[in-house]
A and B are shown apart, each in its own frame.
Chain A
Amino acid sequence: MRLFYPYMLILISALSLVNAFTAVKAPAGYLVETVTIPEGITLGVGGLAFDQHGVLYVTTREGQVWRHKGDQWQLFADGMHEVLGIYIDQVSDEVWVMQRPELTKLIDQDGDGRADIYRTVSAEWGLTDNYHEYAFGLVRDQDGNFYGTLNTSLSWAGWAGSSKWDIGRVHDGKMGRAARYRGWSFRVTPQGEFTPWSMGMRSPAGIGMNRHGEIFYTDNQGDWNGSSTLQQITKGRFHGHPSSLMDHPDFQGKDLNAISVEDYRQMRTPPSVFFIHGDLANSPGEPVFDETGGRFGPFEDQIFVGDQTRSNLMRICLEKVQGQYQGAIFNFIDGLQSGVVRNQFDSQGTLYVGQTGRGWRSAGEKIFGLQTVRWDHQTTPVEILAIGLTPEGFELRFTQPMDSQLLASTEQYAIEHWEYLYRPEYGSPKAGKIQAQIEKITLSHGGMRALLHMPLLEGRVYQIQLKGMRAASGGPLTNPMGWYTLNKRRLNERF
């Protein structure tokens, strides 16, 4: 297949270093670069994927799909309705995209580099003209099934400006369900058969799958979501926002307002990880797994995810405790140029970061953009590698040996914990904040691990701050803070 044609748009673009003139704060060894987007292209990024030839496909909120490699940009598809996800088969290079109204296969039948068939694969979910009814995607399992997520409707007339979407609000929450399957994830088979998959989502702006086929999504803070979350998607799971239950067969004809918040709490599976609203993230996007085989540094199998508002990248490590995933979140890079919503690794282990800030604004002033994060393949950053549980307390692992005197000193740690309340109100305070005390500290692995012996409480988010911690080689931690979502204590097995 010829990739680019003589008449296509060829423009000079260059990777320009941005570290010099914006306030990028990244761990040592990580370099942020900005991809120059040619004049005239509006690239409000909604989806990123590479084909097997290393061509990056960028789908946009404006309804286009651009192909990009080197200095070249080519319009592959146009005229769609807000494309917020894409999947490319790594053998056949077939392209599927998530538009607001449907899952679409894009086919370039005549091979001129421009899609000519827009094949509807599934459009089984309900859609009104409510701006909040986004459709996000797209991941695919080894059997060829696609998975995506569907936003709730903005139903409260006070914000929506009309009562026409005021259907399915529960206990005076702000979001509802003005059409079927709003607030659900779904599966679509290769034959196009649609199955509603899990429910209780609010604003599930990003979906990602790891090498084991496990699917995770991020949800945004708001009603029923005390803070933004990372959650695992499994069939039939209830994630917590009740409006979607209108489309569950067990709740047909039932009054969702007659079910108590406590009963909903019992039904829901708590999130794997809370993002810390305000401190870390206000509206997280796509979680992408580092499966680069070490080409992106020491964080193999961890999740990288950005935030639309704070224009930062974060890092998440997960572990299974009592059968469910939970884990810790850290900040990673601050000061990106626009709101971060999509991430993809290329075959070299460079992370492409797709951005849009329009409508909600972001700390980075640019309205849209594309940046890359590259590891120099040499420098070991000074970071908390992971936080996990042992039956005794937290185990902290570091990317390199730490100053053992500091590491062993309880003075160096400040730990507090709180609860995010599950409730229909918009967001939650950090409720019931408690300062925790470390009983003793055991070091191992030559100062690369510290076990903090302490009693732990379930249903809490722990903030662990390492105030003056330094590596044995002298450098301070770039991100000296981690937050662990402790749904369950570890009883006997090891971290």
Chain B
Amino acid sequence: MIAPMKSISKNTRWCSLFLLALAVSSLCTPAVAQRVVSVSTLPGKMRFDVDQFTLTPGEKVRLVFTNNDEMLHNLVVIRGDEATSLAVAQRAWAMGAAAAERQFVPDMPDHILHHTKVLEPGQQDSIDLVAPKVEGSYPYLCTLPGHAFSMKGIMLVKANPEPDKLVVKAVDKSEEGSAFVLQPHHHPIIKRAFVENGPPRSVMVGFPGGINFCFDAESCFVSFGWFGPFLDIGPDWGRNANQRGGGPVKVLGERFTTGAGRFPLRIGSKELTPQVHFKGYQVRGEQAPTFEYTVNGAWFMETIEPAEKGIGLKHTFKSDPGLVAPLHFYCDRSQYLVEASAGDWDGNWLTLDPEVATTFTLQIYQEP
């Protein structure tokens, strides 16, 4: 009828043979074309992309496994239950130096029905298999170390399969149930992490009253604030075993802007953008955090907490006592209500002489 179908794993030549075979078979005997079942992975999720596929007893299929992930994987079909499946995997992990050469397939002929080779990222392998005559569930798994905890599926053998369930695709639920809400109750909480639509060097601060902000620890100003619950840090912590973490945390409230959108202080000249360097922060119990940075080499401390009214923030600055030039602070007063404890306004610029600049307070807020 068609080209002989013995099982081999070097595939390029085989693919063309197979295509030829398909072509021939579709011309001559379209009804018996061999079915192809394709399995790959959910990249980065330690999952196959197929949870279950169904064959009829004795059916001849080609099982194609494509490793589209960034680590090594194989696919091993076994006879047994879930416990057998884990036992096979553990035997594979214990193979030591022989594992790689034997494709991470342990010597368990009673249990192992079929297997691909260990595939590098981007590689593909296929198995031509004949489904068992006995109906039932035949697990498949990846036997690389640790993978079988989540890289597993079922090859179902059934005489009259439901046509719409021949292949059940995996659904990525790794984000579900992984929320981990951080909420201050009695004192401020600080969390550094990546944050959605925020700077990579971020310091998030949440207060019990529901005012929160993100301080840009590279540019040394408040990037944005938000009103409501604090953070879902699940994406950063990684709440289940397959999550790498390190993802951007989620701001849970409604964002508000808090000023210039850039570093607002100038020393001496308003025109010269200063060099700023972040120096860290202090946290003491119930008190608001104090950020420290240098501006053209002069040391500044800035304590940031919720404004006393409206939605916004109160900034208390302590500047370097050695400062001799006047200090200028920019804020777009058409957008915000601003109250300053010292200095004189000229349009959107507040100018403070050195003698009053050592300690001053600014409240920048909006009406609720």
Contacts and interface: CB of A to CB of B under 8 A. Distances in A.
A102 interface: yes
A481 B71 contact: no
Interface string B186-222: 0001111110000011000000000000000110000
A417 to B, nearest CB: 14
Contacts of A23: 90, 94
B217 to A, nearest CB: 7
A79 B96 contact: no
Interface in B226-285: 236-238, 241-248, 278-284
Contacts of B118: 278
B44 interface: yes
Contacts of A118: 280-283
Given A174-B70, A357-B146, A361-B241, A120 B280 contact: yes
Contacts of A311: 145-146
B6 to A, nearest CB: 25
Nearest to A134: B246
B147 to A, nearest CB: 6
A276 B97 CA distance: 9
Given A42-B237, A104-B280, A426 B200 contact: no
Contacts of B279: 119-120
B244 A127 contact: no
Contacts of B193: 63, 81-82
Contacts of A309: 144-146
Contacts of A335: 94
B93 interface: yes
Contacts of A119: 279-280
B46 A99 contact: no
B190 A101 contact: no
Interface stretch (A67-75, A228-236, A362-370, A377-385): A362-370
Given A81-B193, A116-B282, A311-B145, A360 B71 contact: yes
Contacts of A465: 97
Contacts of A323: none
A359 B237 CA distance: 10
A426 B191 contact: no
| Interface size bracket, A side | 35 or more
B121 interface: yes
B191 A63 contact: yes
Contact of B192 (A80, A277, A359, A362): A80
A61 interface: yes
A311 B144 CA distance: 12
Nearest to A179: B200
Contacts of B120: 426-427
A202 B46 CA distance: 22
Contact of B146 (A104, A280, A361, A427): A361
Nearest to B293: A120
B193 to A, nearest CB: 6
A363 B97 contact: no
A487 interface: no
B43 interface: yes
Contacts of B46: 360-361
A457 B192 CA distance: 51
Main DSSP-derived SS at the A contact region? loop
Contacts of B244: 131, 358-360
A365 B89 CA distance: 12
Contacts of B104: 278
A335 B94 CA distance: 8
A120 B280 CA distance: 5
Contacts of A426: 70, 120-122
A463 B243 CA distance: 36
Interface in A41-86: 42, 44, 61-63, 78-82
Contact of A123 (B96, B122, B278): B278
B38 interface: no
B250 to A, nearest CB: 13
| Interface size bracket, B side | 35 or more
Nearest to B290: A117
Interface in A416-457: 426-427
A327 B120 CA distance: 27
Taking each of A25, A278, A361, A427, which has the highest tally of chain B beta carbons within 10 Å of its own beta carbon?
Answer: A361
A194 B347 CA distance: 40
B72 A278 contact: yes
Contacts of A272: none
A32 to B, nearest CB: 16
B295 to A, nearest CB: 15
Contact of A79 (B90, B146, B191, B200): B191
A360 B146 contact: yes
B37 interface: no
Nearest to A78: B190
Taking each of B145, B147, B189, B281, which has the highest tally of chain A beta carbons within 10 Å of its own beta carbon?
Answer: B145
A100 B72 CA distance: 27
A383 to B, nearest CB: 15
A310 interface: yes
A111 B99 CA distance: 52
Interface in A282-323: 282, 309-311
Nearest to A429: B120
Taking each of B189, B201, B217, which has the highest tally of chain A beta carbons within 10 Å of its own beta carbon?
Answer: B201
A363 B245 CA distance: 19
Contact of B246 (A82, A282, A357): A82
Contacts of B284: 110, 116
Nearest to B69: A159
A25 B95 CA distance: 12
Contacts of A78: 190
B280 A361 contact: no
B168 interface: no
Given A23-B94, A62-B237, A279-B97, A361 B283 contact: no
B145 A117 contact: no
A359 B246 CA distance: 10
Nearest to B43: A159
Contacts of A339: 146
B23 to A, nearest CB: 31
A159 B242 contact: no
Interface string A448-482: 00000000000000010100000000000000010
A117 B191 CA distance: 14
A262 interface: no
Contacts of A427: 72, 120
B14 interface: no
A426 B248 CA distance: 27
Contact of B96 (A61, A331, A359, A361): A331
Contact of B201 (A102, A110, A278, A463): A102
A334 interface: yes
Contacts of A100: 246
Contacts of B100: 276-279
Contacts of B280: 104-105, 117-120
A250 interface: no
6 contacts: A63-B191, A102-B201, A118-B283, A131-B244, A309-B145, A360-B46
What 5 pairs between A and B have smallest CB-CB spacing?
A: A359-B244, A361-B146, A278-B100, A81-B192, A363-B145
